[in-house]
Structure 1
Amino acid sequence: QNAQVRGFYDFYLPRDEIWIYNMETGRWKKSKTEGDIPPSMSGSCAVCVDRVVYLFGGHHARGNTNKVSRWNVKPSSQMSLSSLAFREKILFLVSFLIFPHKKQVSAHRFLLKWHLFCVCVNVSNKLPVVSGVSFPQGKTPSPRAAHACATVGNRGFVFGGRYRESRMNDLYYLNLDTWEWNEIITQGPCPVGRSWHSLTPISSDHLFLFGGFTTDKQPLSDAWIYCISKNEWIQFEHNYSEKPR
């Protein structure tokens, strides 16, 4: 049910639509879905593996869900969720919180215990199967919301996100063979802390970071390349600096 907040309306978009962006033509295409369509949700997480899109979790009108759905959609050439695809498995990084002793506390001054864990979904069969839940070792990132993930080789990278009222700019990777977290300390200029940004692998040695939302509640339009072998961020100019998101 839609709720009016400060003169604006919060509403869910149509649940039977999938929008596909063609990176060669620069055009969007709307695709209608059929079958057992999940409810309209926010905060869900999706990943495409072998021409199949998998959707996990999210928040709908009746609360949170932990269901996994799949669509056989031909591709073009996220409670706080993100995903990594690796060897016919999808890893969903999940942050959740527990209120101590069920006390009602202020939304801005709360005492919480955070937990970060991974849900592993095996997609080698026709139906997605949750094959395990685990807590990786090493220097674990602080729990966060609206962060971004990308997979390069056997490393799952996590950048930024929101913790309480702050947006972070830290960078971690999860070794998908040893199941161990590592923090990456970069040298030189680096992106400002942000949430709701995108992080995309563009080669075997580079990640592309774009946009997001700052602690000062400002939308961003900056673009960065992270070079894995050199361990450095490089900012570059582009033609869409006036279109933050």
Structure 2
Amino acid sequence: MYIYGGNHNGRYLSDLHVLDLRSCTWSKIEAKVESKSVETPSPINITPSAGHSLIPWENKLLSIAGHTKDPSETFQVKAFDLQIGTWSMLNTYGKPPVSRGGQSVTLVGTTLVIFGGQDAKQTLLNDLHILDLETLTWDEIDAVGVPPSPRSGHAAAVHAERYLLIFGGGSHATCFNDLHVLDLQTMEWSRPTQQGEIPVPRAGHAGVTVGENWFIVGGGDNKSGASETVVLNMSTLAWSVVTSVEGRVPLASEGLSLVVGSLNGEDILISFGGYNGHYNSEVNVLKPSHKSTLQSKIMEGPLPDSVSAVHNATNPTRDLESEFEVGQEGKIRETAIDNFEPMKSKGGETSEHILAMLKAEKEELESSFNNEKLLSLQLKQELADAEARNTDLYKELQSVRGQLASEQSRCFKLEVDVAELRQKLQTMETLQRELELLQRQKATSEQVAINAKQRQGPGGVWGWLAGSTPQNADDA
């Protein structure tokens, strides 16, 4: 079991360790950097990373992508030669994916299938890329159907060298327990119905396949760890619970590493590390069989500080992601499940069963699509009717606007007439005041005349008595 890189208290690591399962002893590999090679024309710097994937290929370990202290836009593929103990950087061709961590990398034949993850800007991804390991050429896949939502920390496995299964993972706000299947021949996504005891939502879990059974261990939802180890029969898509733990134990951690190996002729699952409030360096062994002879032992030798693991390239494996690391003393613990028998297909069912289920799912989706298409036509007709009504309303609105403009013109004329009348009224008021003034002046003049006559009246009588002729008589 190989452990490379990881993270401890925010510090990225680049050390490489190997666990001998027979002696239960850790050893640190003093790796060298290859200065020049066919793949690497110049010296390289092996940057410490976490969230990468470690894949065995021929006599090499391939470290795929991962987060680093200084984010890079380059999607890196590093190779460790197990024979000569050197690191080198593989030069690839075509358009590579953006750099990321928390993705899934699945070995399918001579290709690596990369899905999802999170880039250096913390943007979640759901893109799909394939790297041909023989030509080292990238190919971005535009699959049909509805893909999984953007996520990281999910698990992936391949069934019958044709179907890529994606389970769980998380976004910034939630974790998932959905299952998606990609047909690698038709490049079509589907979301089949899950059977059995469906696991709780989780991210940061790890998974390995043994035959047609896909074991899922650990994970969590950033609040608590997933306590149940579950298995999916990839032919029937039925879940079963293998075992369950209690409390904050390493098996209920996020970011642990998981591999499948062989000991004394039987398959075993080996988990290492993880984070559940503190960093773990414990190794746990699961035997889904009553034929168990391995005893719990204290590990000897220095413990690695990372949790990204992969077993020897001669054994089947899956991609394993590094997230956390520990530095404390660890132990190997064994869990033996007596008489465990995961749900199997009946009547010798093979991958044809899952193909039939996928076809049924496809027919159901096509039926839903036809219904949606019919609904779309109805909505288009309703939209056309609404547009016709809108046209009539627009014409009516234009007519009302014309009437309103006419009324506004009349109103303006009336305002002009009112202004003229107000001006005339003001003129009349001025004339009225002048008339009243003249009338008062006239009345005053008349009063003065009357008073003058009254004063002249007595003088005339005395003049007559005196024998003088009145002036008015002379005038006459």
**1-structure distance, mates of 2:157, 2:300:** 28
Matches within 5 A, 1:145-156: 145-156=203-214
SS of equivalent to 1:221? coil
Aligned to 1:119: 180
Q: Which of 155, 163, 168 is residue 94 of structure 1 equivalent to? A: 168
Q: Deviations over 1:30-78 (max 9, x none)?
A: 213221111112221111111101100122238322111010125xxx7
Aligned to 1:73: 133
Aligned length: 217
Query: What amino acid does structure 1 have at the position aligned with 2:284?
Result: W
Go from structure 1 to structure 2 and tell me whether the alpha carbon gap of 1:231 and 1:138 turns closer, same or farther (over 3 Å shift): farther
Structure 1 residue 39 corresponds to structure 2 residue 98: yes
**1-structure distance, mates of 2:182, 2:295:** 34
- Compute the displacement of 1:97 (Å): 6.5
**2-structure distance, mates of 1:130, 1:238:** 48
SS of equivalent to 1:12? coil
Structure 1 residue 82 corresponds to structure 2 residue 82: no
Q: Deviations over 1:169-216 (max 9, x none)?
A: 4210001111111001269xx854211111112236211212222x22
Does structure 1 conserve the Cα–Cα contact (< 8 Å) formed by 2:170 and 2:203?
A: no
Query: What amino acid does structure 2 have at the position aligned with 1:65?
Result: L
Q: Deviations over 1:118-154 (max 9, x none)?
A: 22122347xxx13412241211111111100101011
Does structure 1 conserve the Cα–Cα contact (< 8 Å) formed by 2:163 and 2:184?
A: yes
Does structure 1 conserve the Cα–Cα contact (< 8 Å) formed by 2:250 and 2:273?
A: no
Go from structure 1 to structure 2 and tell me whether the alpha carbon gap of 1:166 and 1:51 turns closer, same or farther (over 3 Å shift): same
Aligned to 1:109: none
**1-structure distance, mates of 2:291, 2:243:** 8
Go from structure 1 to structure 2 and tell me whether the alpha carbon gap of 1:186 and 1:238 turns closer, same or farther (over 3 Å shift): farther
**2-structure distance, mates of 1:98, 1:186:** 27
Does structure 2 conserve the Cα–Cα contact (< 8 Å) formed by 1:147 and 1:196?
A: yes
- Mark the structure with the bigger radius of gyration: 2
Q: Which moved more, 1:47-56 or 1:19-28?
A: 19-28
**2-structure distance, mates of 1:20, 1:235:** 34
Unaligned runs of 5+ in 2: 1-9, 13-67, 135-150, 307-324, 326-476
Matches within 5 A, 1:132-171: 132-171=190-229
Which protein is richer in strand relative to its size? Answer: 1
SS of equivalent to 1:174? strand
Go from structure 1 to structure 2 and tell me whether the alpha carbon gap of 1:24 and 1:143 turns closer, same or farther (over 3 Å shift): farther
SS of equivalent to 1:80? coil
SS of equivalent to 1:162? coil
Aligned to 2:434: none
Q: Which of 273, 277, 286 is residue 226 of structure 1 equivalent to? A: 286
Q: Which moved more, 1:62-71 or 1:143-152?
A: 62-71
Unaligned runs of 5+ in 1: 1-5, 100-111
- Compute the displacement of 1:14 (Å): 5.0
Which protein is richer in helix relative to its size? Answer: 2
Q: Deviations over 1:67-111 (max 9, x none)?
A: 11010125xxx7331111111221111345697xxxxxxxxxxxx
**2-structure distance, mates of 1:96, 1:16:** 22
Relative contact order, higher structure (CA 8 A, sep 6+): 2
- Compute the displacement of 1:20 (Å): 2.8
SS of equivalent to 1:40? coil
Does structure 2 conserve the Cα–Cα contact (< 8 Å) formed by 1:19 and 1:28?
A: yes
Q: Which of 246, 270, 274 is residue 208 of structure 1 equivalent to? A: 270
Query: What amino acid does structure 2 have at the position aligned with 1:121?
Result: L
- Compute the displacement of 1:115 (Å): 4.1
Identity of aligned residues (%): 20
**2-structure distance, mates of 1:228, 1:56:** 29
Query: What amino acid does structure 2 have at the position aligned with 1:38?
Result: P
TM superposition score normalised by structure 2: 0.41
TM superposition score normalised by structure 1: 0.74
Cα RMSD of the aligned pairs, angstroms, is 3.3
Go from structure 1 to structure 2 and tell me whether the alpha carbon gap of 1:21 and 1:93 turns closer, same or farther (over 3 Å shift): farther
